[in-house]
Structures are given as structure tokens and as C-alpha cells.
Chains A and B, each alone.
Chain A
Amino acid sequence: DARVTQTPRHKVTEMGQEVTMRCQPILGHNTVFWYRQTMMQGLELLAYFRNRAPLDDSGMPKDRFSAEMPDATLATLKIQPSEPRDSAVYFCASGNSNTGELFFGEGSRLTVL
């Protein structure tokens, strides 16, 4: 059963620490998205890759956030330094650019103290 895998599922860290979240997209998918979900803002796009190339990261705070796809099986989202306002659930989703469907991972819940 193909699925998007995200690690860690939960992360508690202190302000100022570096946080790295990882995502393994579904094999064969060529698009990867990072979304952030908070009560106040809902679901927001942070970054979007197609064929490992970044297409849109306009929603991502560039001073502390970075997103990469080192290879087709791994996407990473890094926060350095983390701040309490980064506390949220971070979702990775993958899809095929020729279809309309996106498949979501189970999310990484980040708490920054």
C-alpha cells in the first residue's frame, strides 16, 4: 500500500534549535509539497517541487526555513533557528503532475518551547 512517509511524527524542541523534517514521497510521484497547518492560518503552502526542482516557495520564511530534495525519494524541510510561532503540524504531500491527486503523509507535529 503506497503512502507518503513523514518523520518524525512528533517533535518537541527548544527555541533556537534546528529542526529537520523528512518526507519520502510515493514511488513514481514527481511532485512534492510541504504544507503547514495551524489553528489560526489553516493549511498554508510552504514549498512545491516538481521533478525535484523548486517551483514555488513564496510561502516559506526564507530567513529560517529551507526545503530541499536531495533525491527523488527524500524531501526535507529545515527550520534554523526554530521559534515558538513555528509550532504547527507540517504535512508533506506527493503527486503525479499529470493527474490532479495529492496524497498526504500523516504530518509532523512540531512544538517549539
Chain B
Amino acid sequence: AQTVTQSQPEMSVQEAETVTLSCTYDTSENNYYLFWYKQPPSRQMILVIRQEAYKQQNATENRFSVNFQKAAKSFSLKISDSQLGDTAMYFCAFMKLFGGSQGNLIFGKGTKLSVKP
């Protein structure tokens, strides 16, 4: 069974600084997706970034980027120029492809990020 581990329950960063959130996963699959979701106090689950396992290039979305190490099964999220609005719970998630198509998301326990002014 696949598992996702986020080893940092809580982190804090000063506004405008850079922070990296860690995530490791365990799977025997070769083809899958990895995600980072953000959940602010409003509890809405917001997709931050997605990475396809077959792509070697790390995904980037504006201030958000990932460091995907497939062999090490590591998928960290880097937030540059942190903003107060980045304060939220961040979930790393793994998606096994089901019959070559979209499957279930398996979530880590989350990292609570606080951005301090």
C-alpha cells in the first residue's frame, strides 16, 4: 500500500523568506502523480502544484516549486517570497493511476505553515 509522510507537523517562516516543506512517499508503482494541496482556515482544498512521475523536470507555479527525487521517493515544496496569505495547512498527496487513469489521492498528515509579518 502507498503511504505519504510529512515529517514536519508545523513550520513558520518570515514574510518574504523562503521555506521548504518535506514529503516522502512509498510505492512500488512507476507511474503516478504527486500533488501539494493548500488548506487555509476556510478549509477549502486548493491545488498548489502537480508533478507527473514520468517527468524529470520539476514543476513550478509562480512562487511555488518542487524538488522531485523519484529514486529517493521525495517530493518537497519550496515557497519563495512567502506571503501572509500562504499561511495554511499544506498536504502532500500521491495518486496511483487506476487502469492508466486517475485514481485515489492518498494524503499525508499535513504541515501547518505560519507566515509571520
Contact = CB atoms under 8 A, between A and B. Distances in A.
A106 B104 contact: no
B91 interface: yes
Contacts, number: 56
Interface string B38-71: 0000111111001010000000000000000000
Given A42-B109, A42-B110, A98 B44 contact: no
- In this complex, the interface size class of chain A, counting residues with CB under 8 Å from chain B, is 20 to 34
10 contacts: A31-B102, A42-B108, A43-B91, A43-B105, A50-B98, A50-B102, A97-B101, A100-B35, A101-B47, A101-B50
Contacts of A100: 33, 35, 50, 52, 95, 102
B45 A91 contact: yes
A95 B102 contact: yes
Contact of B107 (A43, A48, A96): A43
**Would you call the interface of chain B mostly helix, strand, loop, or mixed?**
strand
A36 B46 CA distance: 16
- In this complex, the interface size class of chain B, counting residues with CB under 8 Å from chain A, is 20 to 34
Nearest to A42: B109
A100 B102 CA distance: 6
Contact of B105 (A45, A50, A98, A109): A45
A96 B103 CA distance: 10
Interface string A22-53: 00000000010101000000110100101000
